[in-house]
């Protein structure tokens, strides 16, 4: 249990049957009336952000979030299969949990599987990945003065914009958080 007076950024709590992470908090002591804590909470499962106020003595249950490194094995249509590399236990997750998080991830790469009380609710891909470009139009020299891009498809099937000098067959480094091209490898 944690009281609202002990709230800090990044703490995860259980409140009204949901799991929230504290994004912002502010202790407010008005000239008149009792003090309170104004918070901005992010629902970890849905991603929604809500603002709530608490009395400093109000208590919430702390939520323990597990982040486990697991190897992404393969997909068989609807299910994505992961393996714990220490115990060799395998789990299968559906599209609802995965979403777009594996858009830039190849088979046999390590990911973080995030769960609460054994209930997996998200998968975090590695921050940066190196992928081979499978389809790309050739860039034409002199098309533009600065910073032109063209669409490209990588080996996982995802599409992103890359600079004109990148060609089919090149290996590129991608930031998985934003889906942006970083550099050629």
Considering the domain architecture, whether residues 70 and 118 belong to the same structural domain is answered as yes
Task: Write the CATH number for 145.
Answer: 2.40.50.140
> Domain range holding 169?
129-184
Alpha helices in the chain (DSSP H): 95-98
Task: Count structural domains, the chain.
Answer: 3
Find where tokens 């034409």 sit. 140
The tens digit of pLDDT for each residue in 140-179 reads 766 566 678 888 999 988 899 888 888 888 899 998 888 8
Considering the domain architecture, whether residues 176 and 141 belong to the same structural domain is answered as yes
What are φ and ψ of residue 50, in 5° steps?
A: -130, 155
Structure tokens at 6: 């002990």
Residues with Cβ within 8 Å of residue 113, at least 6 apart in sequence:
67, 68, 69, 70, 82, 91, 93, 120, 122, 123
Distance CA 80, CA 53 (A): 39
The tens digit of pLDDT for each residue in 113-139 reads 888 888 888 888 899 999 999 998 887
* The domain boundary residue, chosen from 90, 109, 124: 124
Contact assessment for residue 47 and residue 30, using Cβ atoms and an 8 Å cutoff: no
Compute the chain's Rg from CA coordinates: 22
| DSSP E strand boundaries for 55-156 | 59-62, 65-75, 80-83, 90-93, 110-116, 119-124, 128-136, 149-154
Considering the domain architecture, whether residues 69 and 104 belong to the same structural domain is answered as yes
User: Structure pTM?
Assistant: 0.72
Lowest mean pLDDT among 52-56, 82-86, 119-123, 138-142: 138-142
Considering the domain architecture, whether residues 93 and 49 belong to the same structural domain is answered as no
Considering the domain architecture, whether residues 47 and 26 belong to the same structural domain is answered as yes
Contact assessment for residue 146 and residue 166, using Cβ atoms and an 8 Å cutoff: no
Structure tokens at 14: 């259980």
């Amino acid at each position: 249990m944690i009281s609202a007076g002990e709230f800090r950024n990044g703490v995860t709590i259980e409140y009204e049957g949901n799991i929230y992470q504290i994004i912002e908090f502010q202790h407010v002591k008005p000239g008149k009336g009792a003090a309170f804590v104004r918070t901005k909470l992010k629902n970890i499962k849905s991603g929604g952000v809500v603002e709530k106020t608490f009395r400093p003595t109000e208590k919430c249950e702390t939520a323990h979030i597990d982040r486990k490194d697991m190897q992404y094995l393969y997909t068989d249509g609807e299910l994505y299969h992961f393996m714990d590399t220490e115990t060799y236990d395998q789990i299968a997750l559906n599209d609802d949990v995965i979403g777009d998080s594996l858009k830039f991830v190849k088979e046999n790469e390590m990911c973080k599987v995030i769960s609460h009380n054994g209930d997996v609710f998200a998968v975090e891909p590695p921050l940066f990945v190196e992928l081979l470009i499978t389809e790309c139009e050739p860039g034409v020299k002199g098309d533009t003065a600065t910073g032109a891009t063209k669409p490209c498809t990588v080996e996982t099937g995802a599409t992103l914009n890359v600079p004109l000098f990148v060609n089919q067959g090149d290996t590129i480094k991608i930031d998985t958080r934003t889906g942006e091209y970083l550099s050629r490898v």
